Structure 1
Amino acid sequence: MEDRERPVNPAAATTIARRVEVHRLAVAGRQPEIARDVGDRVCRVWLSTSRFAAVEAMATATLTLGPDAGSFYDRGWARSSTGRPQPALEDYQQALTMYQQAGHRGNEAATLTSIGRVYDNLGDRQRALDHYHQALPITREVGYRAGEAATLNNIGNVYDSLGDRQRALDHYHQALPITREVGYRAGEATTLNNIGHVYDSLGDRQRALDHYHQALPIRREVGDRAGEAVTRFNIAMVLRAGGDLDQAIRELEHVVDLDRQVDHPDLEADIRVLEQLRQERAEHQ
């Protein structure tokens, strides 16, 4: 079956288009408050649907009007998501300083979590944990439940990377009910995906697939193409391990298509895996 794009809500699309034009006019007219407010609203929608290049361009345009924590944060997210950790860290650090100076505790926690995620991706597990453990009590202090779930997830990821599967599951199972309680669908999908990954590492392929197949429709529902690519890749690897090369290849074809849509840094690596699977299938035929 073809991987079709989800229908776009015409009213929502019109609203975004109007805001993009308002932002353009605000930047051209040197109106920083309008540009920052409208730009951040648009960027948060685009980030949720993996439009990272558009986010970076809009945030950069806003920053021509002067420093802005929200724009630094949004651009850091876009840069981190497209494989540029050092520029992302620079943006996040700018955002963190500004949020701390302004006393915006919830945003401070979100930025600490994002910085931790960059360090985790760089393999610096201890620095990642340091930032997550700074963020977690702040999320609880301000009642930022979605942020608490995200931070618990990220701590779980570190323990999973370190091979401590049980500790990872403990954190994921703390995060999952919170995501459902607050209706944080993207976070719910991330948590389900992460639980699936642990079960895969433990050799429980069926339980892994069960969790991946719970995560996948939520990824599609919220328009998280980068996340969908991650979950489909994980499904493909389980299918490959089980000898179902045909279905694994179909999943990886979806992954490569999604990678191209969001300019994902793993595109070339995923193409290589797809070609390797096609070669394995040819050798078995």
Structure 2
Amino acid sequence: MFDRAQWFLAGMSIALALQLSPPVAAAPLGKPAQTAQTTSIDAANKVFQEGLKLYQQGTVEAKKGAIAKYEEALKLYREAGDRSEEAATLNYIGLVYSELGEKPKALEYYNQSLPLSRATGALSIEAVTLNNIGLVYSELGEKPKALEYYNQSLPLSRAAGDRSQEALTLNNIGLVYSELGEKQKALEYYSQSLPLSRAVGDRRREALTLNNIGLVYSELGEKQKALEYYSQSLPLSRAVGDRRREALTLNNIGLVYSELGEKQKALEYY
């Protein structure tokens, strides 16, 4: 069994990444006894970490290499009978396929992960899996289906006391409502997500949500309100070194000034 999973924000909406903690085997006095199961789990953890390093390189080829490593780890976790790690690894494979644009393949792996996390009572992993399935459907343009999965994920995050995952899913629901043109509903969900991100000290996600709120206000024609939120988002992106988000927010501020007729100011931000 893995000790704990830590889930990270990735992309404009949310995808997941999982960092495994090596299992700590209880042992009697003296040298810990090695069994076939612990040997298999140790080998799986080692291969998984090799896959994680490849994934973090970010290139298409490296991600394909990561899938091969994760598949190898998956086989070892299955041999060891570690269904919790198996569920987590299936989720990781699904994530990589999703990022490579292979959405049906991603769903295939997420749907294998789901019954395993349910069987082991791993609420956080189940919540993340449901969230990831929702994200795939959202990216496929199936917004009602996405909401269906997000709304299954949300109470599980709350039941697990996982405020970070709860904030993530609330943000994703807000994004779907915004894309559906239901701006007030989007603001409701963003406004629920924001204090949770602040409470867990996730400044990257806080910056994302503030930017999303600013975008909604801009689309509602409330330009000064939009600037207010963009201006809160900007220093947070800078503080965490998220230059991509910083660039996006600067661009959004420039767009607001352009729409307000302040072209010179717009150019400064662009």
The counterpart of 2:125, out of the listed 122, 133, 147, is 147
2:72 pairs, out of 75, 97, 109, with 97
Q: What amino acid maps onto 2:153 in structure 1?
A: A
Amino acid corresponding to residue 161 of structure 2 in structure 1? G
Which residue is 1:9 aligned to? Answer: none
Does structure 1 retain, via aligned residues, the 8 Å contact 2:193–2:209? yes
Match of 2:214 among 207, 213, 236: 236
TM-score by length of 1: 0.67
Distance 1:91 1:193, change over 3 A: same
Aligned in 2, Cα 1:117/1:232: closer, same or farther, shift over 3 Å?
A: farther
Q: C-alpha separation between the residues in 1 aligned to 2:126 and 2:221?
A: 39
1:146, distance to aligned residue in structure 2 (A): 0.7
Q: Considering only aligned residues, what root-mean-square deviation do their CA atoms show, in Å?
A: 3.4
Q: Which has the higher helix share?
A: 1
Specify the alignment match of 1:181 in structure 2. 159
State how far apart, in whole Å, the 2-side matches of 1:188 and 1:158 are. Answer: 18
Give the aligned partner of residue 273 of structure 1.
252
**Distance (Å, rounded) in 1 between the aligned partners of 2:47 and 2:232:** 36
Unmatched segments (≥5 aa) in structure 2: 11-18, 20-42, 266-270
Aligned length: 229
Residue number in structure 1 paired with 2:178: 200
Q: CA separation in 2, counterparts of 1:84 and 1:275?
A: 31
Q: Residue 137 in 1 paired to residue 106 in 2?
A: no
Cα gap change, 1:189 to 1:91, in 2 (>3 Å): same
Structure 2 match to 1:112: 90
TM-score (normalised: structure 2): 0.71
1:194, CA displacement in angstroms? 1.4
Contact 2:174–2:189 (CA<8 Å) still a contact in 1?
A: yes
Letter aligned with residue 269 of structure 1: L
TM-superposition CA deviations, 1:235-278 (whole Å, max 9, x none): 11111111122222232233333333334363333432332223
Retained in 2: the 8 A contact 1:92–1:111? no
5+ residue gaps in structure 1?
Answer: 1-36, 51-55, 57-65
1:147-183 Cα deviation digits (max 9, x unpaired): 1111111111111122222211111111111111111
Q: Could you report, residue by residue, the CA deviation over 1:60-87 in whole angstroms, capped at 9, with x for unpaired residues?
A: xxxxxx982564466567x38xx65654
Classify 1:119/1:258 alpha carbon distance in 2 versus 1 (closer, same or farther; 3 Å). farther
Overall identity of the aligned pairs, in %: 36
